[in-house]
A and B are shown apart, each in its own frame.
Chain A
Amino acid sequence: MRNLWIFISKYNAFFLFMLYFSLAFLLVVRNNAYQRAGSINSANRVVAYFYGHYSDLTGYLNLAETNRALADENARLRGELEVSKFHNDTTQGQIIDTVSQQRYTYIVAQVIKNSIHQKNNVITINRGSRHGIQKGMGVLSPTGVAGIVLQVSEHFATVQSLLHSDTRISASLQKSKAFGSLVWGEDNFNPRMAYLDDIPNHVKVTEGEPVVTSGYSLFPPGIPVGHVISATSKGGKSFLEIPIALTTDFARLQIVYVVKDDFAEEKHQLEEASTDG
């Protein structure tokens, strides 16, 4: 026993290394298995405090750019209003619409931490469970898709950015309506680009064709995602891998919208029941 102690204390550098390294390794593995269950992430109060102040500063410097983007969006949405449309028919009288019911509502949030140079990028926003945000909600940017809510604390939430190797978003080609999944990572670490996978070979793809969300997952259908960079297919595969230029500039992300789908639970339960049976 004594000899063992002498041995351990003689080579204490190695044993301490083993001790701390396995502790750290445990953290890594646990984190991978439970999707950031721990409190050591940027939804943590102290860390979020620092990032909050930092984003106040950078947010101020980017105010002009953000204002312009929001004004553009306002102008676009104003165009969607009923009053800005010209009705080219002669029927009179008001129609009471009972057919449409509100399905998606949006929670505005400010980005307080963002990165684009990591292999797995995570965004932190300043809205949390108190504001009605839940795990797994979709997140939009003013110009396109931003990511999926990963972890929620009372005042903050982390968002798994589209620039994350685990993110898969269902998207479709606007003309052919063929859908596939939008992926980033795997050899491509350009923050302005992603790939649309799983589009069958027979689908005709044209260069510059818009890519929009399919509406099968967390996002409302028809939200722009990007446009096709090149339509050439790699030979010998049964599915196309189409490079997509993203509409969202993640380097300048300031304001995001969290999508609240009122029918999400109903849809989820139905689909769950269908796959089990």
Chain B
Amino acid sequence: MGRVLSLNIFRFIIFILMQVFLFRNIGYYNLAAPFPYIYFLLALPLSISNFTLYTIAFLTGLTVDAFYDTPGVHAAACTALAWARVVFLNITIQPENHELQATPGMSEMSFRWYFIYALVLSFFHHLVLFILEVFSFANFHYTLISVFLSCIFTVVLLLLFDFIFYRKKKR
């Protein structure tokens, strides 16, 4: 338990710092920007309760907001991501098949499962993020293109990060 907690705190700090100081400066003009800090939320353990998940997601969003000068926008997006995560895990995973400490990742599941998981969750996150950031439905096609391109950008990074944490199954 202590190991899981410290690993997650470590991930939180690393991903926030990387997002704020590295990925904030990377972007294709204003069309696409990566937000790989959501890897932290994707990788929270399966056994986590809904309330804890939402609280952590909200606070993570708020922390990123503080650095981005956009109060509430990332918090809302992360909350939407948390909801998508709960629904997605309910649909695709039978809880008795996995030990409770497990984290959703390529090493536990399959590559295909993780790819769809990352794609769906980052899509919801980016959709809410960009709509709230623009805060209008004018030029909606432009916003949608931003969402799709940023999604691709983020998912590629998420897959790369998951390969870093990849561990061969002990059988």
Which residues of A pack against B, CB within 8 Å?
Answer: 12-14, 16-17, 19-21, 23-32, 36, 38, 40-42, 44, 46-47, 50-51, 54, 115, 117-120, 122, 158, 187, 189-191
Contacts and interface: CB of A to CB of B under 8 A. Distances in A.
Contacts of A51: 67
A75 B62 CA distance: 46
A27 B29 contact: no
B113 interface: no
Given A117-B29, A119-B133, A42 B69 contact: yes
B83 interface: yes
A191 B31 CA distance: 12
A16 B54 contact: yes
Interface string B45-65: 000001100110110011001
A27 B72 contact: yes
Contacts of A119: 30, 133-134
Interface string B131-155: 0111100010010000000000000
A17 B128 CA distance: 13
B69 A12 contact: no
A24 B75 contact: yes
Given A12-B51, A20-B57, A28-B73, 14 more contacts: A13-B83, A17-B79, A20-B58, A24-B75, A28-B72, A31-B71, A42-B66, A42-B67, A46-B66, A47-B66, A117-B26, A117-B33, A119-B134, A158-B69
Contacts of A40: 62, 65-66, 71
9 contacts: A20-B55, A24-B73, A28-B135, A32-B135, A36-B69, A38-B71, A40-B62, A42-B69, A47-B66
Nearest to A189: B30
A118 B68 contact: yes
B76 A28 contact: yes
A146 to B, nearest CB: 16
Interface of B: 20-21, 24-27, 29-31, 33, 50-51, 54-55, 57-58, 61-62, 65-73, 75-76, 79-80, 82-83, 86-87, 90, 132-135, 139, 142
Contacts of B70: 28, 31, 120
A47 B67 contact: yes
A117 B70 CA distance: 14
Contacts of A47: 66-67
A24 B79 contact: yes
A46 B20 CA distance: 14
Contacts of B31: 189
A115 B67 contact: no
Given A13-B50, A28-B132, A41 B142 contact: no
A23 B82 contact: no
B69 A117 contact: no
